[in-house]
C-alpha cells in the first residue's frame, strides 16, 4: 500500500492523535500543515527553502495543472516531483473544489461536471475517471477522490443527493485509479452541517476502504462553531488506523481546534496569501507589517520566532520592501508565515505527546488574542 498511518499516541486530555504518515517520498509526523503550491510552486518559495523550513509535504492543485501546463507535460517530465524538483511528499486535490468555486455556468450530471475554464472561457468537462487519469499522470503520493463540494448553507435535500452522488463518484474513482501501488487515494466525507448525512457519507466511503479520509465541505463560509460541531460528530465515524485530512483549513485557531478533534492533516492558502498582502502570523497575534507604526521598528516580525526571516530582517526593512512591491519582501513574509504554522504544528504534536493539548490551546489562544472580543480569525 502506498500510504500507511501509524497512530503513536492519543492525548489523554483531548483525544488528539500524534502519529506518522508513510508515503513513497518519506514519512511525516502528524498533525501536520501542508503548504499549498497551486501551480507546482508554493508562491515565492523555492523547494530548497521549503525543505529548510521543515515542510515534509506540500499540496498542488489538479485543476490548475491540468489547464497549465497540462498533465501530459508534467508526466513527460517524469511526474510532479521531478518537474518541480521536490523530493518530499505531494498531495494533489481532485480539481472538484476549483470546478465548483472558480467556474460559472457549471452543470452537474451523473457522468461529471461541465463548466467553463476560468481563464479562457473554453468549455470543459471533468469526471471521476478524468480526475483520476490526470492525478495518475501528475504522480503525487496522495490523490483525492473527485467529489462535489456544495456551498454553505445548502438544503438537506440538495445535500443528500450530492452526498449520494459523491459516494458513487468515489467508487468510480477507485475503479479508475491506475497506480494504487505508488499513489494512495483518499476518500472525501461530505454532508455539510447535517449529522445524518455525514454519517451516511462516512459509512459509504469507509466501506470502500480508502487508505485515508478527508473531511470536505468545511471552511466554506460557515461559522467556526459549526465547523467544530461537524468535526465533533464526524471524526469518530472514521477508522483509527487511517489518516484524516481537514481540507482548506489553516488559521492557527482552527489547526489547534481540528487537531483536538482528531484531525491529522491540514492545508490552506491562508498563510501564503496573507503574506503577499504584508500580513504576518505571530505568537502575539497578526501583524500587518505595512502599517506606518513599523516604519522605524527594527525588531523582527516575531521576537519569539527563530525563522530565517526573523533572525535576519527587521519589520522596518520588510515594511519598506512590501510597500515598494519588492518580491523579496513577499518571500520574507511567506517564509515566516509558513514556518510559524509548521512550528505551531510541532508544538501541537509535543502537547499531544505530553497529554496537555487542552492547556496548550488555552495558553496559545490567550497570547494570540483569540479570546478577545472581535478577534480576527488568524
Where in the sequence numbering do the catalytic residues fall? 93, 267
Q: Which of 273, 263, 275, 205 is nearest to 231 (CA)?
A: 263
Looking at the Cβ atoms of 126 and 338, the one nearer to Zn ion is 338
Question: How far apart, in whole angstroms, are the C-alpha atoms of residue 271 and residue 119?
Answer: 25
- Total chain residues near Zn ion (CB under 5 A): 5
User: For the chain, first and last CA: distance in Å?
Assistant: 37
Only segment of 21-29, 127-135, 285-293, 329-337 that touches Zn ion (CB under 5 A): 329-337
Separation CA 85–CA 258 (nearest Å): 31
Q: Which residues in 185-214 contact Zn ion (CB under 5 A)?
A: none
| Smallest distance from Zn ion to CB 123, Å | 45
Answer yes or no: are the C-beta atoms of 96 and 146 closer than 8 Å.
yes
Selected from 53, 260, 265, 310, the binder of Zn ion by CB under 5 A is 310
Stretch that binds Zn ion, among 10-18, 233-241, 335-343, 363-371 (CB under 5 A): 335-343
User: Among residues 316, 280, 284, which one has the least CA distance to residue 297?
Assistant: 316
Task: Select the span of 24-32, 198-206, 306-314, 351-359 touching Zn ion (CB under 5 A).
Answer: 306-314
Minimal distance in Å, beta carbon 310 to Zn ion?
A: 3
Q: How far apart, in whole angstroms, are the C-alpha atoms of residue 324 and residue 241?
A: 50
Cell numbers that stand for 279 in this block? 500580513
Element (H, E) at 5: strand 4-10
How far apart (Å, rounded) are the C-alpha atoms in residues 298 and 279?
17
Q: Which is nearer to Zn ion, 92 or 309 (CB)?
A: 309
Per-residue binding letters, 249-288, with Zn ion (x by CB under 5 A)? ----------------------------------------
Which of the 8 DSSP states describes residue 271? H
Residue from 17, 319, 336, 361 in contact with Zn ion (CB under 5 A): 336
Q: How far is the C-alpha of 307 from the C-alpha of 322, rounded, in Å?
A: 19
* Interacting residue with Zn ion among 263, 305, 341, 352 (CB under 5 A): 305
Write the DSSP symbol of residue 314. -
CB of residue 294 to Zn ion, shortest distance in Å = 15
Cα distances from 208 to residues 12, 51, 173, 321, in angstroms, run: 31, 35, 11, 51
Any idea what DSSP says for residue 214? E
Per CB under 5 A, 289 contacts Zn ion: no
**What does each C-alpha distance from 363 to 31, 282, 337, 353 come to in angstroms?**
19, 14, 20, 17
Residue 338 as a binder of Zn ion (CB under 5 A): the answer is no
> Which of 95, 22, 15 lies closest to 59, judged by CA?
95
Cβ closer to Zn ion: 49 or 171?
49
Q: Which range, of 58-66, 134-142, 237-245, 330-338, touches Zn ion by CB under 5 A?
A: 330-338
The residue range among 28-36, 121-129, 141-149, 301-309 that interacts with Zn ion, by the rule CB under 5 A, is 301-309
Q: In the bound complex, what is the minimum distance in angstroms from residue 344's beta carbon to Zn ion?
A: 12
Nearer Cβ to Zn ion (91/289):
289
Least spacing, CB of residue 255 vs Zn ion, in Å: 17
Number of H helices, E strands in the chain: 15, 16
Shortest gap between Cβ of 309 and Zn ion (angstroms)? 5
User: Rounded to whole angstroms, how far apart are CA atoms 128 and 134?
Assistant: 10
Nearer to Zn ion, 331 or 336 (CB): 336
Contact present, 301 and 315 (Cβ < 8 Å) = yes
CB of 311 to Zn ion, least distance (A): 8
The piece of 63-71, 213-221, 325-333, 334-342 that touches Zn ion (CB under 5 A) is: 334-342
Residues 39-58 touching Zn ion, rule: CB under 5 A, are none
Q: What is the nearest approach in angstroms of Zn ion to the Cβ of residue 116? A: 41
Q: Is position 131 an interface residue for Zn ion (rule: CB under 5 A)?
A: no
Residue nearer to Zn ion on the CB measure, 261 or 343: 343
Contact call for residue 315 and Zn ion (CB under 5 A):
no
Burial tier of 20 (Cβ tally within 10 Å: 0-12, 13-18, 19+): middle
The residues of the shown chain that bind Zn ion, judged by CB under 5 A, are 305, 307, 309-310, 336
Amino acid at each position: 500500500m502506498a500510504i500507511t498511518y501509524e497512530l503513536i499516541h492519543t492525548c489523554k486530555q483531548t483525544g488528539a492523535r500524534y502519529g506518522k504518515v508513510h508515503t513513497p517520498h518519506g514519512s511525516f509526523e502528524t498533525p501536520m500543515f501542508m503548504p499549498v503550491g497551486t501551480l507546482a510552486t508554493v508562491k515565492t518559495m523555492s523547494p530548497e527553502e521549503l525543505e529548510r523550513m521543515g515542510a515534509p509535504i506540500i499540496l498542488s492543485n489538479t485543476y490548475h495543472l491540468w489547464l497549465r501546463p497540462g498533465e501530459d507535460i508534467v508526466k513527460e517530465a517524469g511526474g510532479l516531483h521531478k518537474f518541480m524538483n521536490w523530493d518530499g511528499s505531494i498531495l494533489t486535490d481532485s480539481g472538484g473544489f476549483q470546478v465548483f468555486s472558480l467556474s460559472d455556468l457549471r452543470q452537474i450530471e451523473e457522468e461529471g461536471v461541465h463548466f467553463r475554464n476560468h481563464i479562457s472561457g473554453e468549455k470543459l468537462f471533468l469526471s471521476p475517471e478524468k480526475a483520476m487519469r490526470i492525478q495518475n499522470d501528475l504522480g503525487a503520493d496522495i490523490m483525492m477522490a473527485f467529489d462535489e463540494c456544495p456551498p454553505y448553507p445548502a438544503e438537506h435535500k440538495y445535500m443528500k443527493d450530492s452526498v449520494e452522488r459523491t459516494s458513487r463518484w468515489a467508487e468510480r474513482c477507485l475503479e479508475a485509479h491506475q497506480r494504487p501501488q505508488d499513489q494512495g487515494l483518499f476518500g472525501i466525507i461530505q454532508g455539510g452541517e447535517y449529522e445524518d448525512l455525514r454519517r451516511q457519507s462516512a459509512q459509504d466511503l469507509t466501506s470502500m476502504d480508502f487508505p485515508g479520509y478527508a473531511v470536505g465541505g468545511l471552511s466554506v463560509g460557515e461559522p467556526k462553531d459549526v465547523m467544530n460541531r461537524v468535526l465533533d460528530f464526524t471524526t469518530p465515524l472514521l477508522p483509527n488506523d487511517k489518516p484524516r485530512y481537514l481540507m482548506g483549513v489553516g488559521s492557527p485557531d482552527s489547526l489547534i481546534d481540528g487537531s483536538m478533534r482528531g484531525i491529522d492533516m491540514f492545508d490552506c492558502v491562508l498563510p501564503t496569501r496573507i503574506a503577499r498582502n504584508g500580513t504576518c502570523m505571530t505568537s502575539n497575534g497578526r501583524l500587518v507589517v505595512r502599517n506606518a507604526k513599523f516604519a522605524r521598528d527594527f525588531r523582527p516580525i516575531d521576537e519569539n520566532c527563530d525563522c530565517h526571516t526573523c533572525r535576519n530582517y527587521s519589520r522596518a526593512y520588510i515594511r519598506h520592501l512590501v510597500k515598494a512591491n519588492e518580491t523579496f519582501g513577499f518571500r520574507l513574509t511567506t517564509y515566516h508565515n509558513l514556518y510559524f504554522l509548521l512550528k505551531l504544528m510541532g508544538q501541537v504534536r509535543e502537547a499531544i505527546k505530553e497529554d496537555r493539548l487542552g492547556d496548550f490551546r488555552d495558553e496559545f489562544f490567550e497570547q494570540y488574542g483569540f479570546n478577545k472580543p472581535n478577534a480576527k480569525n488568524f
